[in-house]
Structure 1
Amino acid sequence: MIRCSRKELLNALQTLSGILPSKSPKPILENVLFHPLKNTVEVLATDLEVGIKLTLTEVEVIQKMDFLVPGQKLLGILKESEADTVAFEMQENHCKITLNQDIFNVLSLSPEEFPQIADFQEKETFSIPSTLLRNMIRKTSFATANEATRYTMNGLLMDNDGKTMKTVATDGKRLAYTQCKSPTKEKFSVLLPPKGFQHIEKVLSHHRNENASLLIKENQLLLKANSTILTVQLLQGNFPPYQNVIPKGFPLSTSIHKNAFTKSLKKALLLTIQESQSVRLHFEEKTLTLFSHDPSIGEATVFANLEEPIAEPLDISFNPTFFLDVLKVLEEDIVHLSFKDSTSPGVIQEKDDFLYVVMPLNL
């Protein structure tokens, strides 16, 4: 039997909820495993692709006994209750859950059948600031693909040569790349699945002023942030040779305020065809003119001021959502744009650690 803080357990289950299905071909995966220790209780969940282990500290352990509780049902119970504490007591194949005068008896499967989550070996890890890793994922993951046929492009590449660590994502039409000084001399190149990098970012958002520890072994990545441990099954396959996509040399460059660029793109987007969104960008001196056209409605011409003049006029067309996506993750107010010509990719750079490459559209 254990007793714990309802609020602390509710926060833990909300973190686990993304990997807790209401229905699964494997019913055992619908459950949360409680593992009582001397003064704490570990709470575990997994969908076999991602596993998360959290530690509850506001607890009273009366009897050390592992048990399972259906995760989504327990989450619903805790949300509806106003009790300060929640007590769990095993009764044969049922778990009795008590909150004030409310009692819930739920079926409890055997904890021996619950999949094991890999152990975290502290000696084999390397450390990286949580905020840095979270920002690297946030500034690249939006460019991943969502296709069944090219599943490796659905993943986020973490590539480390011992000097520089990079995160890279591409869907074949754009590429986002960011880098930092390598936190380890160990070389690795791994592919994180969508659910994996989404949960890493989610966990790190709760530990922004701390360091995270990482461990890569076999086909898994393990991350520890404070008392939270997350395991991710890595994607297998070859990521596209991203170095070949990055253009060399940009004879044309300019800059624009992020808010002005965002508003102009959103205006032009209003009169585009939903199936094939396209906006033509005309750069000349210190003016950007955006043209869009929808045969069923009409056309739009939108103007914006550039922060610095472009060397020569340029006409080039893009999917405006590809620019709007990257503008959401940029940190600086001024956006630096570079081009080679009207048929080559456009590039956005921020500081020395972020690069975004987007292919133009042929009209």
Structure 2
Amino acid sequence: MTSILRGPDNPEVQPEMTRGIEEGNPQLSTVHSERSRLLGVAYRLLGSASEAEDVTQETYLRWYRLTPAERDAVKVPAAWRTRVLTRICIDHLRSARARREVYVGEWLPEPLPDADLARSTTLPRESAAHRDPVERVTLDESVSMALLVVLEKMTPAERVSFVLHDVFQYSFNEIAEMVGRTPQACRQLASSARKRVQDARSVTTSPGEHRRVNDAFKDAWVSGNIRGLMALLNPDVTAVTDGGGVVSAAVEPLTGHEQVARFFVDVMTRQPDLRVRAVTVNSEPGLVGIVGDKVLSVVSTVVRDGRIASIWAVRNPEKLSLWETAIAKETSL
């Protein structure tokens, strides 16, 4: 996965080379901030950090392919790049539907560790204080696995309208230009998407309670305590695992607390050297499974009424490269 920052004076500057000089170069700092915003938009639209990197890079490539005269004619370059990035994302979303039809098992969004979440998250473009609270989604919430899973069920136009308006606070006039619809149509698309999101957000759990239940689940899982696991799971809990056909995983979603509990105990039986750690996944309490220095899975959960109602376990190694890097950095410290 490449990570290239393209600046006004050097279209191929590595981000790590810019950090020490950004304070003395406001223009470069602005470009770096814009790139983070574009990454944040792309990740929320695509649910994939690697694709978000590729789309952001392609956006800057298209900008620097313009002639100097063409770039000078663009009144607001940042708006131009956002529009181009959004259109590329829409194309990706349309083609993703065909790719996921042949994907082995369930497809889940790529989970992010804290460091990469910070890199792909920027503040909204203006204060939301005057906005209707119903239309507000916090930046942390907008990358939660639960919300990303809901976004996956939307049409590309719904997803774009909701993310750009409710998360990044673009006007419907601006969004209409990007998606090729009328502002009123974009408003309706965002409203439809918002209803789906509100259903998924119907019950909230404090981070402390979420963490407490996850820790209890981890302890019961590691010890192979089926009854303990079942007591921590909602009777109609669902668990989705994503192996992508690369590693073993349940092809179909698991349902019911007994089936889910037995599945996790079986995982530990087959992999007795598995270490499970509490971590933050996409801004929320989660778990990571490690063997040696290898990350085998990242687990996200939804807790309702003191029990786990949903579990998403990402096992596809192609979606765990950022976690491999994060764990390796921790180990080297």
Under TM normalisation by the shorter chain, which class is it? under 0.3
Name which structure has the greater RCO, CA cutoff 8 Å, separation 6+. 2
Which has a greater percent of strand?
A: 1
Larger Rg: 1
Q: Structure 2 length normalisation: TM-score?
A: 0.26
Q: Structure 1 length normalisation: TM-score?
A: 0.25
